[in-house]
Amino acid sequence: MCDNDHRRWNHLKKILERSSPFCHPDFEPGTGILEFLQNSCKLLVVGAGGLGCELLKDLAMMGFGDVHVIDMDTIDLSNLNRQFLFRRKDVNSSKAEVAAKFINERVPTCRVTPHHCKIQDKSEDFYRNFHFVVCGLDSVVARRWINGMLISLLSYDDNQQLDNSTVIPLIDGGTEGFKGNVRVIIPGITPCIDCTLDLFPPQVTYPLCTIASTPRLPEHCIEYVKLIQWPKENPFDSNIDTDDPVHISWIYEKSLERADEFGINGVNYRLVQGVIKNIIPAVASTNAVIAAACVTEAFKVATSCCPLLNNYAVFNNADGIYTYTYEAERKSDCITCSPRKAKYLDIDDTNMRLEKIIEILCEHQQYQMKNPALTIELDGKRKTLYMPNVPSIELKTRPNLKMTLEQLGIADGCKLLVADITNPRAFEIILKIKNNCVSME
C-alpha cells in the first residue's frame, strides 16, 4: 500500500522535486510542494455541471487533497450524458453533494466538501479561506459575481501596495458547443472578468415592439409568451420555473398558437426550452479539453512550477483544432478592478454629526466635494444617509444630518459610499475614527 502510494505520485514528483530548464525561474523544487498540494492547499470549484464534473475528476487525480465544490442545482435526467459523476438514481439530488460523494469514494487521497447553495449565500469569510478558485460556470452573471467577490477581498497597505497574501487567483473555464476558453485571473494584477466584458457575446434581445406586433421568427413568438402573455395570464400563479416541464409546455402551446396566427414555422418544444432557459448545446469533449487546461493551470498556480497561462486561451474544434493564447489587457477604468486606492477620512470621534462629515468632505483638500450623496452598509443592509439631489429622499433623510455617527450606528472602519459630481464614479471612503464610542460599548 505504502509502496503503491509512493508510486502513485511518481510522475508529479518528477516535476515537483527536480529542477529543469522549463521551470519557472523562481521555482524551488522540494518534497514540501506535493505535501502542500495534498494536505494544505484548499481550493474551491464553482459549478458541478458539465465542466465541474471534469474539473473535480482532474483535480482529484492531480493530487489535490482539499477541494470544495459549490452548486445550487439539482441533477436533471438530461445531464447524465456528460456529467459522468451522476447516475440515474441521483436525478433530483444536489449536484454538489453527489459529485463530492462520488470523488470521495473513488479517490481516497481527495476530500471533496459540497456546498449545495447559491454562490451569493456564502460570505466573504467563506471565500477568503481558499488558496484559489476554479470556475466552471455557464453564466456570465455568476462569473462576474465571483470575480467581484475575489477583488473585494484584496487589501492594500497604507502605501497602496497590494497585500499579496490577500490575492486569490481565479481560473475560469467556459464552453459553448465546440468552443471554449480558459483564463487565469490574478485579482488586482491581471485583467479581471469585467475588464473584458465585451468578449462575451451579447445576449440576443429583440425589440419589444417586434415581438408584440411584427413577429417574424419562432423566437419572437416564444419571447412574446414569456414577456407579455405569462405575466398577464399568470397561469400557475408564479414566475416561470425554467425547470418545470408544465411551465415549459404551457409556453410551448401558447407560442405555437401565436406562431400559427402569424404563419411562422419552427416552434418546437426544444426551441422553447432553449429560448426560455437560454440553453447552449454542450459537447462532452469540449468540457474535457477545457477542464484539463484549467486543472493544469490550477496545478501551476498551486506549485509555481511553470509560468501561468498569460492570460486568455481560446479553443475551437468546430473545424479542425484551433487554439490561440493571447494577453488580454487590463482596463484602466474597469468598474471592478481598476486600482481604486483605498480612501480614508480621519474623524475625531463618533459624537460628530453627519452634517459635519459632509462639511469635511466639501472642505477637505483631497476631496473638495460639492454636494455629496452618502450611503452605508449596516448589518448587511444598505442605508441612505443623505441624498441632496432627490427631493423625496432628501426630505426623508434630512433628520440624519443632525444625528451623530454613534446614533446612526457608524463605527470605525465603516465604508461610506460617496457620489458627487466632482468624481466620475461613486466610491467608498473608509472612516478612521480615533475615539470610537460605538465599539467601546
Using CB under 8 A as the binding rule, the residues of this chain from 152 to 181 that contact other proteins are 152-156, 163-167, 169
What is the sign of the dihedral through the CA atoms of 102, 103, 105 and 111? negative
Among 117, 208, 280, 318, binds other proteins (CB under 8 A): 208
Which of 41, 209, 337, 362 is the catalytic position?
A: 209
Cβ of residue 133: shortest distance to other proteins, in angstroms?
Answer: 12
209 carries an active-site annotation = yes
Residue 360's region, left for phi above 0, alpha for psi from -120 to 50, else beta, is alpha
Cβ of residue 203: shortest distance to other proteins, in angstroms?
Answer: 9
The answer to whether 43 and 64 are in contact (CB under 8 A) is yes
103 near Zn ion, rule: CB under 5 A: no
Cβ of residue 302: shortest distance to other proteins, in angstroms?
Answer: 6
The stretch near Zn ion (CB under 5 A) out of 97-105, 259-267, 326-334, 384-392 is: 326-334
Question: Which H or E element spans position 170?
Answer: strand 170-176
Q: Find the binding residues for other proteins in span 339-398 (CB under 8 A).
A: 342, 371-373, 375, 377, 380-384, 387-393, 396-397
Number of residues that bind other proteins (CB under 8 A): 81
For 18-54, give one letter per residue: b (16+ CB within 10 A) or e: eeeeebeeebebeeebbebbbeebebbbbbbbbbbbb
304 near other proteins, rule: CB under 8 A: yes
Using the structure block, give the residue that is written with the C-alpha cell 481565479: 170
337 near Zn ion, rule: CB under 5 A: yes
**Helix, strand or coil for residue 422?**
coil
Which one, 288 or 361, has the nearer CB to other proteins?
Answer: 361
CA distance 132 to 289: 21
Which one, 66 or 194, has the nearer CB to Zn ion?
Answer: 194
The stretch near Zn ion (CB under 5 A) out of 66-74, 246-254, 328-336, 345-353 is: 328-336
SS (H, E, C) 16-63: HCCCCCCCCCCCCCCCHHHHHHHHHCEEEEECCCHHHHHHHHHHHHCC
131 near other proteins, rule: CB under 8 A: yes
Contacts of 293 (CB under 8 A, 6+ apart): 173, 182, 309, 313, 315
Which one, 94 or 397, has the nearer CB to other proteins?
Answer: 397
The stretch near Zn ion (CB under 5 A) out of 303-311, 334-342, 380-388, 395-403 is: 334-342
Q: Find the binding residues for Zn ion in span 182-241 (CB under 5 A).
A: 192, 194-195
304 binds, among other proteins, Zn ion, none (CB under 5 to 8 A by kind): other proteins
Cβ of residue 197: shortest distance to Zn ion, in angstroms?
Answer: 9
The answer to whether 344 and 327 are in contact (CB under 8 A) is no
Q: Find the binding residues for other proteins in span 413-432 (CB under 8 A).
A: 413-415, 417, 419-421, 425-428, 430
Which one, 1 or 209, has the nearer CB to other proteins?
Answer: 209
Among 59, 103, 256, 302, binds other proteins (CB under 8 A): 302
What is the amino acid identity at position 31? T
348 binds, among other proteins, Zn ion, none (CB under 5 to 8 A by kind): none
Half-sphere exposure of residue 116: CA atoms within 13 angstroms, side-chain side: 13
31 near other proteins, rule: CB under 8 A: no
248 binds, among other proteins, Zn ion, none (CB under 5 to 8 A by kind): none
CA distance 252 to 224: 11
Enumerate helices (H) and strands (E) in the chain, giving the number of each: 17, 13
Q: Find the binding residues for other proteins in span 254-273 (CB under 8 A).
A: none
CA distance 291 to 83: 13
The answer to whether 47 and 71 are in contact (CB under 8 A) is yes
The answer to whether 170 and 132 are in contact (CB under 8 A) is yes
334 binds, among other proteins, Zn ion, none (CB under 5 to 8 A by kind): Zn ion
Among 209, 237, 365, 440, binds other proteins (CB under 8 A): 209
- Taking alpha carbons only, the member of 419, 417, 405, 414 closest to residue 372 is 419
Which one, 197 or 271, has the nearer CB to Zn ion?
Answer: 197
Residues forming contacts to Zn ion in the complex (CB under 5 A) are 192, 194-195, 334, 336-337
Mind telling me the catalytic residues? 209
